[in-house]
Amino acid sequence: MQLIRGAIRTYAWGSRSAIAEFTGRPAPTAHPEAELWLGAHPGDPAHLEGPHGETSLLDVISADPQAQLGSAVRDRFGDVLPFLVKVLAADEPLSLQAHPSAEQAVEGYRREDRGGVGLNSPIRNYRDRSHKPELLVALSDFEALVGFRPAARTVDLLRALAVPGLDPFIGLLADQSDASGLRALFTTWITAPQPDLDVLIPAVLEGAVSYIRSGAKEFAPETKAVLELGERYPGDAGVLAALLLNRISLKPGEGIFLPAGNLHSYLQGMAMEVMANSDNVLRGGLTPKHVDVPELLRVLDFTPVVDARVHTHRDGIELVYDTPTAEYAACVLTLDGKYLGHQVDAPSHHGGPQVLVCTEGSVVVRCTSDEIHIERGGAAWVAADDGPISVEATRAARLFRVTVGL
């Protein structure tokens, strides 16, 4: 069991303070920090802190996969850690994006290899062969666009904007089944010629301004989000696409699950992310990065999402996030009340590895042969050979825990 130093990713949409303050470093930082990777992805592995310096977690696993991963995990996933944990901090909206299924990832990776697209090429879509089912758990108030809204509800929104230029598109959506209508409208907008967008988008933004000024409440969050996106990305087809997505607000501890094909954009906030060990992203707009609309259309699922929020259940000190994933399982261990000042055994799922992130307070973690102290913002790696674990805190604390799925 060792402390982890995560790998920091700097993107323009990140924060100059959130991750730094979370990890106890000076703020503001020189560059916006968007993600803190706590895993063994070859693109940016975390490092384990030892008595003789730091070692890449990827190298540690490669050197002794049996001790680090255990037999059960190796039998299912080979000699690689199947999940990736991140701390995410968004001061600005992320790109409009979706992730491929397992089959699509393998096929796309092979296709780009055959086409001679280098792994580090800016136009590469598939950087590995894995799908990327994703869980996000809010650490602060968090805003997101997640999944296509049922068509009838979107028709109501478009009509509420009272923009004549939207009338043909309202008919296109209303005259078909949900998935077919959403596919037709999204495809029409995302592939529209720029001169058409330069007329329609400003009209939609004017409609949003009028709607908000009217004092109407029903679609206030949706119209405000479109105005913000329109200001940041003028003329971008993704501004129109955002009208088709569910607007979700999360409180700390609440989560959403994004399966393959779910179109989404995180707008603002700080959160824990857990995903299969992948960096495959198909973008559709709201970004200066590579956008591949035909490939995005290949992977999108246009089935409406009624509620993307993930269900939870209690197991002693654990709040478990119910996700249908083999690669990972996630929970929060809460130490307060009667649990303070006592060593408490964490529920033991199996003999695989664990990543622990202290999101509040400080925790002493004990395993079969060692103990470690994790402060807020700190993280630890528990190898398969080190489990099971127990935890202890003298003041209220929370420990975000990720293991391999059962």
pLDDT tens-digit profile of 155-191? 999 999 999 999 999 999 988 889 999 999 999 999 9
The pLDDT score that the predictor gives to residue 335 is: 96
Residue carrying the six token digits 């080979």 = 78
Mean pLDDT over the full length of the chain: 95
Q: Is residue 399 part of a domain?
A: yes
The pLDDT score that the predictor gives to residue 55 is: 96
How confident is residue 121, by pLDDT bands cut at 50, 70 and 90? very high
Q: Is residue 352 part of a domain?
A: yes
Report, as an integer, the average pLDDT of 58-73. Answer: 96
Report, as an integer, the average pLDDT of 252-274. Answer: 97
The pLDDT score that the predictor gives to residue 387 is: 80
The answer on 200 and 135 residing in a single domain is no
**pLDDT > 90? residue 315:** no
CATH of residue 140's domain is 2.60.120.10
The answer on 87 and 138 residing in a single domain is yes
Q: Is 253 left (phi over 0), alpha (psi -120 to 50) or beta?
A: left
283 in catalytic set: yes
Q: Is residue 320 part of a domain?
A: yes
The answer on 156 and 141 residing in a single domain is no
The domain containing residue 267 runs over which residues? 7-145+250-290
Q: Whole-angstrom Cα distance, residue 377 to residue 280?
A: 26
Q: Is residue 113 part of a domain?
A: yes
The answer on 261 and 225 residing in a single domain is no
Q: What digits encode the pLDDT tens for the residues 375-394?
A: 999 999 999 999 899 999 99
Q: What digits encode the pLDDT tens for the residues 233-252?
A: 999 999 999 999 999 999 99
The pLDDT score that the predictor gives to residue 177 is: 82
Q: Whole-angstrom Cα distance, residue 16 to residue 33?
A: 6
The answer on 141 and 43 residing in a single domain is yes
Q: Is residue 335 part of a domain?
A: yes
The answer on 370 and 266 residing in a single domain is no
Q: What is the percentage of the chain residues whose pLDDT exceeds 70?
A: 100
The answer on 259 and 177 residing in a single domain is no
How confident is residue 142, by pLDDT bands cut at 50, 70 and 90? very high
The pLDDT score that the predictor gives to residue 347 is: 85
Number of domains in the chain: 3
Report, as an integer, the average pLDDT of 241-268. Answer: 97
**pLDDT > 80? residue 38:** yes
Indicate which residue of 124, 127, 283, 366 is catalytic: 283
**pLDDT > 80? residue 351:** no
**pLDDT > 80? residue 96:** yes
Q: What is the percentage of the chain residues whose pLDDT exceeds 90?
A: 94
The answer on 232 and 262 residing in a single domain is no
The answer on 107 and 165 residing in a single domain is no
Task: Tell me the one-letter amino acid at 295.
Answer: E
* Burial of 283 (C-beta count, 10 Å sphere; 0-12/13-18/19+): buried
The pLDDT score that the predictor gives to residue 51 is: 85
Report, as an integer, the average pLDDT of 82-97. Answer: 96
**pLDDT > 80? residue 144:** yes
pTM of this prediction exceeds 0.85: yes
The answer on 383 and 329 residing in a single domain is yes
The answer on 215 and 339 residing in a single domain is no
The pLDDT score that the predictor gives to residue 176 is: 86
SS (HEC) of the chain: CEEEECEEECCCCCECCHHHHHCCCCCCCCCCECEEEECCCCCCCCEEEECCEEEEHHHHHHHCHHHHHCHHHHHHHCCCCCEEEEEEEECCCCCEEECCCHHHHHHHHHHHHHCCCCCCCCCCCCCCCCCCCEEEEECCCEEEEEEECCHHHHHHHHHHHCCHHHHHHHHHHHCCCHHHHHHHHHHHHHCCCHHHHHHHHHHHHHHHHHHHHCCCCCCHHHHHHHHHHHHHCCCCHHHHHHHHEEEEEECCCCEEEECCCCCEEEEEEEEEEEEECCCCCEEEECCCCCCCHHHHHHHCCCCCCCCCECCEEEECCEEEECCCCCCCEEEEEEECHHHCCCCEECCCCCCCCEEEEEEECEEEEECCCCEEEEECCCEEEECHHHCCCEEECCCCEEEEEEECCC
Residue of 243, 185, 169 lying closest to 211 (CA atoms): 243
How confident is residue 39, by pLDDT bands cut at 50, 70 and 90? very high
